[in-house]
Chain A
Amino acid sequence: MENLAILAFLFIVVVLAIVGGAAYWVDSLADRHDQNGG
């Protein structure tokens, strides 16, 4: 049962890391554009 919880938790962490990384990248794109006066 512990293994199930740990593996499921790790899966969620990986999904969140991918989504978070992509969201951070898109947000930094918008930041760079706004700083360039766009």
Chain B
Amino acid sequence: MDLIPNSGPHLHVLLNHFPSVGTVIALGLFLTSYHLKSDDLRRSSMVIFLLLGLLAIPTYISGAAARWAIQGNAGISPDVISAHMDQALLAFTFLGITGCLAWFGLWQERRFSSTPTWNLIAVFVSSLLSLLYMARAGNIGGHINHPELGTIETAAAQGEGLTASVENLITSVIWAWPAMEAAHFIGMALIFGVVLLVGLRSLGVGKNLPFAALHRLLPLGALGLLVNIITGFFFFIADSGRYVAMDGFPPKIIALMIGGVAIIYFTIFDDAWALKAGDDAPLLSKIMAVVTIGSWAAVLIFGRLLPYYGDGG
């Protein structure tokens, strides 16, 4: 018996429920926070939106791995898989936007003691759209390997939908891949630069800097992450069969998840924010600094090793 999923389809079946159920819970908390006038509840819902935005990454990737594992099996329709992937791509996009907006709202609240109304409305609208596309992706996805549910009409055949268009764009425009590689490296430099500055301050380097001065740089790192998620997904969509077979890809994504979650600590936690010029950071800050620098270094190392690391044998 496998306690931990070790195949794409198994992992996808496990992961794909979290974003949809989680979004319903986060939306419920978000709306309840207004009824109860509770800032803590609203902040909690924003953190969940952010975590779900990060979780959307392995959910989408495991879906592509599941596709390559079952495509061609008897009774599996490539058209239904293709339609499911198109809706999943839209769901991933809006869940990612929701996560970014939620992070920016949390950053502003930490810095300015309030989140602007436009940000909260944008989080609400974007989460509703992600829920809509997740419901559609889930509905179509249920028909991929469950003949007892009957048949389903799909809008576009395999090779004609949104995912196929993105794939064709990346592979047919000759400069697209190298240009996005360059953007990916710039994004990585922004992320790692900010992570290193924030982490080293917590570890005692540049003690005369108050943490608030470095907290101001966090959006620059977040913009780098956004650039890299967008460019990274273009790479992945264009060549998903090769990526899901690479041994170095799962460790990179796991490190990305850990690094993403760790950044929440430096964005909102009181003990990091309270660090004044000359203060020594508490032990938790130092541990989080090591975890954050280590995980982003692992993302960088495994990313660079991808072409050399093997393809699953």
What A residues does B178 contact at CB under 8 A? 4, 8
Q: Known: A15-B186, A38-B113. Contact between A8 and B179, CB under 8 A? A: yes
User: In the complex, are the beta carbons of B175 and A8 less than 8 A apart?
Assistant: yes
Contact with B along A27-38 (1 / 0, CB 8 A): 101100100001
Chain A: interface size category: 10 to 19
Q: Which residue of B lies closest to A32 (CB)?
A: B112
**Stretch of B1-9, B216-224, B271-279 on the interface side:** B216-224
Q: Which of A1-19 contact B (CB under 8 A)?
A: 3-4, 7-9, 11-12, 15-16, 19
What B residues does A27 contact at CB under 8 A? 216
Count of interface residues, chain B, beta-carbon cutoff 8 Å: 20
User: In the complex, are the beta carbons of B183 and A15 less than 8 A apart?
Assistant: yes
- Asked whether B205 is an interface residue with its Cβ less than 8 Å from the other chain, the reply is no
- Asked whether B182 is an interface residue with its Cβ less than 8 Å from the other chain, the reply is yes
Assembled-state Cα–Cα distance A26/B103 (Å):
13
Assembled-state Cα–Cα distance A23/B174 (Å):
30
User: In the complex, are the beta carbons of B223 and A23 less than 8 A apart?
Assistant: yes
Assembled-state Cα–Cα distance A22/B190 (Å):
13
Q: Known: A12-B183, A15-B186. Contact between A23 and B175, CB under 8 A? A: no
Q: Which residue of B lies closest to A10 (CB)?
A: B179
Assembled-state Cα–Cα distance A8/B186 (Å):
14
Assembled-state Cα–Cα distance A23/B108 (Å):
14
Assembled-state Cα–Cα distance A3/B180 (Å):
16
Q: Which of B254-287 contact A (CB under 8 A)?
A: none
Partner of A12, one of B112, B176, B179, B224: B179
What A residues does B176 contact at CB under 8 A? 11
User: In the complex, are the beta carbons of A22 and B179 less than 8 A apart?
Assistant: no
- Asked whether B89 is an interface residue with its Cβ less than 8 Å from the other chain, the reply is no
Assembled-state Cα–Cα distance A11/B177 (Å):
11
Which positions in A face B, CB cutoff 8 Å?
3-4, 7-9, 11-12, 15-16, 19, 22-23, 26-27, 29-30, 33, 38
Give 9 nearest A-B pairs by CB, closest first. A8-B179, A11-B179, A26-B219, A7-B175, A8-B175, A15-B183, A4-B175, A19-B223, A33-B112
